[in-house]
């Protein structure tokens, strides 16, 4: 099953991708995660991407397509994948079609998680994580026992640079301008299913499973 999880930043793509990984046994391919790993490792690609990511812009199509093509060619993607955060532009979507066509494949479903902008600003600007063990928190919805300290390992929590409110608003603008038009692109191929992305996580999972089983 070749899937795209689509939606604005903070729609819950990462969370729902985990569910799809467990349900369908396919790997999650997150361009955001791959780029953050490159930034952390200080690779030449990471150095190029770092500043663009910190202000919430889009990394160039060339860079992103390079890492996606390499990742999709790996063995664990041979019977499917869940793309998370990719494609984000029409040229990326066209290039993805080309890569898959060469392998005799095509995207089966695009699951679009619908969440309004104010909810996203609330979700992302309150998001924190532990730099040591990786556990995620939210200052309102999932607060640690002691403010700003990890419950598991006692390390001080951090906020992603691009989760600061101004940057979140810029990411949403970029989404509306460059990424949202992809909904029509996939609608015209009749592979888009739109799912309300607000509510308990388990309910959203059920909505996705029901849409995919149709
Ligand atoms: P995400 O974790 O998916 O929100 O991605 C974090 C940041 O990585 C984005 O704000 C972009 O700067 C960059 N990024 C991730 N995926 C892409 C993509 N497909 N095209 C361009 N930039 C991307």
Confidence band for 197, pLDDT divided at 50, 70 and 90:
very high
Respond yes or no: is residue 127 known to be catalytic.
Answer: yes
Mean pLDDT over 111-120 rounds to: 96
CB 17 within 8 A of CB 28: yes
Question: 117-125 vs 165-174: helix axis angle to the nearest 10?
Answer: 140
For the question of residue 128 being annotated catalytic, the response is no
Residue 137 lies in a domain: no
| Position 168 in a domain | no
Q: Which residues contact 37 (CB under 8 A, 6 or more apart)?
A: 46
Quote the CA–CA distance of 160 and 178 in Å, as a whole number. 22
Is 214 one of the catalytic residues?
A: no
Helix (H) or strand (E) holding 145, with range, is: none
Q: What is the pTM of this model?
A: 0.91
Residue 103 belongs to some domain of the structure = yes
Place of tokens 């959203």: 204
Looking at the domain assignment, is residue 74 inside a domain? no
- Which of the following is catalytic: 48, 105, 135, 160? 160
Query: How far apart are the C-alpha atoms of 184 and 17, rounded to whole Å?
Result: 22
Within-domain flag for 162: no
**CATH (domain of 187):** 3.40.50.300
Tell me the per-residue pLDDT of 39-87, one tens digit each, with 9 for 90 and over: 999 999 999 999 999 989 999 999 999 999 999 999 999 999 999 999 9
How far apart are alpha carbons 37 and 33 in whole angstroms? 6
Name which residue sits closest to atom 2 of ligand 1, judged by CA.
32
Catalytic residue among 123, 127, 128, 207: 127
Is ligand 1 within 6 A of the CB of residue 34? no
Output the DSSP codes for 31-78: HHHHHHHHHHHT-HHHHHHHHHHHTT-PPPHHHHHHHHHHHHTSGGGT
Average pLDDT, the chain: 95
Q: How much is the average pLDDT of 5-24?
A: 94
Residue 195 lies in a domain: yes
Cβ–ligand 1 distance for 53 under 6 Å, the answer yes
pLDDT-derived band at 137, boundaries 50, 70, 90: very high
In a domain, 207, yes or no: yes
Q: Does a structural domain hold residue 100?
A: yes
Nearest-atom number in ligand 1 for the CA of 88 is 19
Could you give the number of structural domains in the chain?
Answer: 1
The question of whether 171 is a catalytic residue gets the answer yes
Q: How confident is the model at residue 161 (pLDDT cuts 50, 70, 90)?
A: confident
Q: Is the CB of 7 under 6 A from ligand 1?
A: no
The domain in which residue 8 lies consists of: 2-26+79-115+173-213
């Amino acid at each position: 099953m070749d899937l795209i999880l689509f939606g604005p930043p903070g729609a819950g793509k990462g969370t729902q991708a985990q569910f799809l990984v467990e349900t369908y046994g396919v790997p999650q391919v997150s361009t955001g995660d791959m780029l953050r790993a490159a930034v952390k490792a200080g690779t030449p690609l990471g150095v190029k991407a770092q500043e663009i990511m910190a202000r919430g812009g889009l990394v160039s199509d060339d860079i992103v397509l390079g890492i996606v093509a390499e990742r999709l060619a790996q063995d664990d993607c041979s019977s499917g994948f869940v793309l998370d955060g990719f494609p984000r532009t029409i040229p990326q979507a066209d290039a993805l079609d080309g890569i898959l066509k060469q392998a005799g494949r095509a995207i089966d479903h695009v699951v679009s998680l619908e969440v309004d902008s104010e909810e996203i600003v609330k979700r992302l600007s309150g998001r924190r994580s532990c730099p040591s063990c990786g556990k995620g928190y939210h200052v309102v919805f999932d607060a640690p026992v002691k403010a700003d300290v990890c419950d598991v390992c006692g390390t001080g929590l951090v906020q992603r640079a691009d989760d600061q409110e101004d940057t979140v608003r810029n990411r949403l603008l970029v989404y509306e301008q460059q990424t949202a038009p992809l909904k029509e692109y996939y609608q015209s191929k009749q592979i888009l299913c739109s799912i309300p992305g607000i509510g308990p996580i388990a309910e959203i999972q059920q909505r996705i499973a029901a849409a995919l089983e149709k």
